[in-house]
Amino acid sequence: MAVIAVAPTAWTVAVGVLVAGAAAGMAFPPYADIVDRHVDAPRRAVVWSVISSGTGWGVALAGPVAILAGDQWRAAWAAFVVLAAVAGVAATRLAPPNDDSTLRRPQLSPSWFFCPRSRPLLTSAVLVGVGSSVWWVYSVDALQDAGIAATPARAVYAVCGAAMLLGSVSGFAFERMGLRTTYLGSILLLAVSLGLLGAATAHLVAAFGAAVLFGACYAAIIAAHGVWSARVFEDHPAAGLAAVSTALTLGMLAGPVAAGAVIEQSGHAAALAGAAVLTAAALPFCPPTARRRAALAHHDCTAAPVRP
């Protein structure tokens, strides 16, 4: 982010974005191990939903910073550098120490990451990444292109981040309705939110409604992916969540490129409609039923431990 703040060219900005995205992806998976080792099993879904929805705080803060900074985008990125440094130091100091002297690095193979148990999860992450990236990258541009002023458009983005905090309670939904049902409902509503923004981009009230729906459902899906990943990759939660994060990132890299081409030819509404369709395509790739889990139990995705 510091590179972005001082970038002299667009290519330098691209390098900063790439490094920042990779860093965020690498910082997230260790929490899977922390939850697995330090949280009692009955509370893991709730705790994980709170952790995964923490991204909402960042988006909620980024919106007002962007509004206040206006055209001074370098100042906004400098503020993000300070926030990131404070958050990084706090997270490192507050994380429980690694007191497991018997810990071994896993010797992982492609078949461990991509197997019958993990295939639906990783496919879902890619599709959600593609669909959601269109919102993250183009929602503000879509609103401004439809005639909404810059400040209200950025406010919609900030409201989306604040709505992600509702994902903190998704763990309770997992407990009451089950992971599969909550996932399916969240995917469906996420697709609806993208379609709503595409159909009513010029209407600010509808845009705010779509933002709340998108933020809450996106956070719930990311939380569901985390809980689901812990079940699939129970031997090595961090490695498994890294695979899920990588799949999500691949989708987020591909989504804006494809959407950009669609926008150039047909406009933002068509790109958002396409994102809604691709998000809905994740519905069949859902957590398994009890019968399917029993069938998959015979497939053991294990990795042999090796010395550090």
DSSP string, 202-214: T-HHHHHHHHHHH
Residue 302 lies in a domain: no
What is the per-residue pLDDT across 13-40, written as a single tens digit (0 to 9) for each?
Answer: 888 887 887 777 778 888 888 888 888 8
Residue 237 lies in a domain: yes
CATH number of the domain within which 9 lies: 1.20.1250.20
Share of residues in the chain with pLDDT > 90 (%): 33
Residue 106 lies in a domain: no
Residue 126 lies in a domain: yes
Residue 102 lies in a domain: no
Give the model's pLDDT for residue 25: 73
Give the model's pLDDT for residue 305: 44
Task: Read off the pLDDT of each residue in 268-289 and give the average, rounded to a whole number.
Answer: 93
Give the span between the Cα atoms of 161 and 6, in whole angstroms.
Answer: 26
Give the span between the Cα atoms of 9 and 69, in whole angstroms.
Answer: 20
What is the per-residue pLDDT across 59-93, written as a single tens digit (0 to 9) for each?
Answer: 777 777 877 877 788 888 898 899 889 988 998 89
Total domains in the chain come to 1
User: Is the per-residue pLDDT at 125 higher than 50?
Assistant: yes
Residue 100 lies in a domain: no
Range of the domain at 31: 2-95+113-296
In order of 25, 30, 101, 108, 167, the CA distances from 238 in angstroms are 11, 5, 17, 12, 21
Residue 145 lies in a domain: yes
Residue 303 lies in a domain: no
Give the model's pLDDT for residue 107: 61
Give the model's pLDDT for residue 43: 83
Give the span between the Cα atoms of 56 and 60, in whole angstroms.
Answer: 6
